[in-house]
């Protein structure tokens, strides 16, 4: 059994505790997930600003819950690669796919933008969208690198007029 730990923090506390930099740029995160054992802060943290809409808080919550589920399921249950082996874009593909079950939020900065664009392409492929959510996630968990997923999407886009299941064409790249 795995446990998902969730914390809500005021924005001032959140920003002091979770100072994140990527490529020398300070990241203004609204939610973060720390896999068990990676830091002293285990769990998902959601920044709450006074006046945030319930949709903003809910979509962030679902997104971070997606990261936590991905980490717990890949590390403990499904026999997929460990969460740490997935690149940042692929972690975001999986979390954004969870968010899009309820919210159609746009993303404009990497790695979220790259992941978002891949999800939009998948959503145009009926063989993917007709799958129940748990099978979509099982499909996505096969890819630790977003470039591998992108190759598969290109193949599915070429074969769209034909009837096939996405898992019939899993591409393995070295």
- Print the SS3 string covering the chain: CCCCCEEEEEHHHHHHHCCEEECCEEECCCEEEECCCCCCCCEEEEEECCCCCHHHHHHHHHHHHHHHHHHHHHHHHCCCCCHHHCCHHHHHHHHHHHHCCCCCCCCCCCCHHHHHHHHHHHCCCHHHHCCCHHHHHHHHCCCCCHHHHHHHHHHHHHHCCCCCCHHHHCCCCC
> pLDDT grade, residue 80 (50/70/90)?
low
Per-residue pLDDT at 28 exceeds 80 = no
Q: Which of 17-26, 45-54, 160-169 has the lowest mean pLDDT?
A: 160-169
For the residues 24-30, what does the mean pLDDT come to?
63
Dump pLDDT digits (tens) for 33-65: 666 555 566 667 677 666 778 887 788 888 888
Q: Based on the fold, state whether residues 47 and 14 are members of the same structural domain.
A: yes
Q: Based on the fold, state whether residues 56 and 91 are members of the same structural domain.
A: no
Q: Based on the fold, state whether residues 46 and 95 are members of the same structural domain.
A: no
Q: Based on the fold, state whether residues 101 and 56 are members of the same structural domain.
A: no
Q: Based on the fold, state whether residues 19 and 92 are members of the same structural domain.
A: no
Domain boundary among 46, 81, 116: 81
> pLDDT grade, residue 21 (50/70/90)?
low
The two beta strands, 25-27 and 31-34, are unpaired
Dump pLDDT digits (tens) for 82-137: 777 889 899 999 999 988 888 888 888 888 899 999 999 999 998 899 999 889 98
The two beta strands, 43-48 and 6-10, are parallel
Domain of 111 in residue numbering reads as 86-174
pLDDT score, position 172: 45
Q: Based on the fold, state whether residues 46 and 104 are members of the same structural domain.
A: no
Q: Based on the fold, state whether residues 62 and 143 are members of the same structural domain.
A: no
pLDDT score, position 67: 81
What is the number of domains present in the chain? 2
Q: Based on the fold, state whether residues 114 and 43 are members of the same structural domain.
A: no
Q: Based on the fold, state whether residues 116 and 47 are members of the same structural domain.
A: no
Q: Based on the fold, state whether residues 59 and 10 are members of the same structural domain.
A: yes
Q: Based on the fold, state whether residues 61 and 100 are members of the same structural domain.
A: no
pLDDT score, position 107: 84
Q: Based on the fold, state whether residues 150 and 69 are members of the same structural domain.
A: no
pLDDT score, position 163: 52
């Amino acid at each position: 059994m795995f446990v998902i730990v969730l914390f809500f923090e005021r924005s001032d506390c959140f920003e002091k505790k979770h100072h994140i930099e990527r490529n020398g740029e300070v990241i203004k995160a609204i939610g973060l997930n720390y896999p068990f054992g990676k830091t002293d802060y285990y769990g998902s943290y959601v920044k709450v600003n006074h006046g945030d809409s319930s949709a903003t808080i809910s979509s962030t919550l679902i997104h971070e819950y997606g990261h936590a589920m991905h980490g717990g399921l890949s590390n403990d249950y499904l026999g997929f690669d460990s969460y740490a082996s997935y690149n940042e874009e692929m972690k975001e593909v999986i979390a954004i796919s969870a968010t899009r079950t309820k919210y159609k939020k746009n993303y404009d900065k990497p790695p979220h933008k790259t992941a978002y664009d891949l999800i939009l392409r998948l959503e145009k492929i009926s063989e993917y969208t007709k799958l129940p959510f748990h099978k979509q996630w099982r499909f996505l968990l096969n890819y630790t690198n977003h470039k591998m997923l992108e190759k598969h999407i290109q193949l599915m886009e070429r074969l769209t007029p034909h009837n096939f299941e996405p898992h019939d064409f899993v591409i393995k790249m070295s």
